[in-house]
Every structure is written in C-alpha cells, then in structure tokens.
C-alpha cells in the first residue's frame, strides 16, 4: 500500500477520531444523561456508520482516480448522493419520533453528517487537484 496513494485515507484516520472524541466528551459532560440515554443510536454508532461510509467512498474515489481521473467529480457526486440516501434510511426511526431527545438526536446526527461531508469534500478536492 503506497502511502502517497492512500494519503487521503490516512487524513481521515487522523481527523475524525479526534472530532469524535471531542464530540463524545461534550455529550458526556454537557448533556443530561437521561436525554443521551433516550437516543435511538449512541454517538459512537453514528460516527462508526459515517466513518465506514467515508472509507468506502474514498477507496472508490482512489480507484476511479487511477483508472478514469476525468470522471472523478461525477463519481464523487453520485457517491455523496448514495451516502445521503443511506443516511436517510439510517435516520428514519429517529425522524418518526417527536420527543425532546429525538430532536437533540436529529441535530447531533446532522452535525456529524456535515462534519464528515466537509472532510470528504476537502479530501476529494485533494484527489481532484493532483496533477
């Protein structure tokens, strides 16, 4: 495994665990435990879900970059759309709940989604800008 080739995946392994740890610590000390315990998905499960999706997305982008680099942007848009659909399916039980903890969980979920999306966009732009 060439380090330069998989540099974007190494960056994902560097950035997101630190963000996840910070987020989990904020939840442990900043939010009442009864609210957190009423969540349908624990925070680490949501991070794991998005981390796996991001790894798959980045591996596919690296393979596409090797074979057809001119198609990389289009493939990225398709993969992000698929990721959004899978995220919606994953979040569906929470969306059907109208409790106060479900409201907090929805905000939490979309914050994590946006964080991973931002990291993926930055990492994908690095792949696009390699000459």
What's the domain count of the chain? 1
- pLDDT averaged over every residue in the chain: 85
Residue 1 in any domain: the answer is: no
Residue 100 in any domain: the answer is: yes
Q: What is the pLDDT of residues 39-73, one digit of tens each?
A: 788 888 898 999 999 999 999 999 998 899 888 88
Pick the closest to residue 87 from 126, 115, 125, 124 (CA basis). 115
Across 92-119, average pLDDT: 87
The CA distance from 101 to 125, in Å, is: 36
Residue 2 in any domain: the answer is: no
SS3 98: coil
* Residue 96 structural domain: 7-129
% of the chain at pLDDT higher than 70 = 95
Pairwise pLDDT comparison (88 vs 31), residue with the higher score: 88
Across 103-119, average pLDDT: 89
């Amino acid at each position: 495994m060439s380090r330069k080739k998989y540099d974007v995946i190494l960056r994902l392994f560097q950035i997101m665990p630190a963000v996840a740890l910070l987020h989990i610590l904020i939840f442990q000390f900043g939010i009442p435990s009864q609210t957190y315990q009423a969540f349908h998905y624990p925070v680490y499960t949501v991070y794991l879900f998005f981390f796996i999706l991001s790894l798959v997305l980045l591996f596919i982008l690296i393979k596409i970059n090797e074979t057809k680099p001119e198609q990389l942007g289009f493939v990225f848009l398709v993969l992000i759309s698929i990721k959004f659909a899978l995220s919606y399916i994953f979040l569906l039980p929470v969306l059907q709940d109208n409790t106060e903890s479900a409201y907090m969980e929805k905000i939490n979920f979309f914050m994590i989604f946006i964080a991973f999306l931002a990291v993926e966009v930055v990492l994908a732009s690095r792949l696009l800008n390699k000459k």
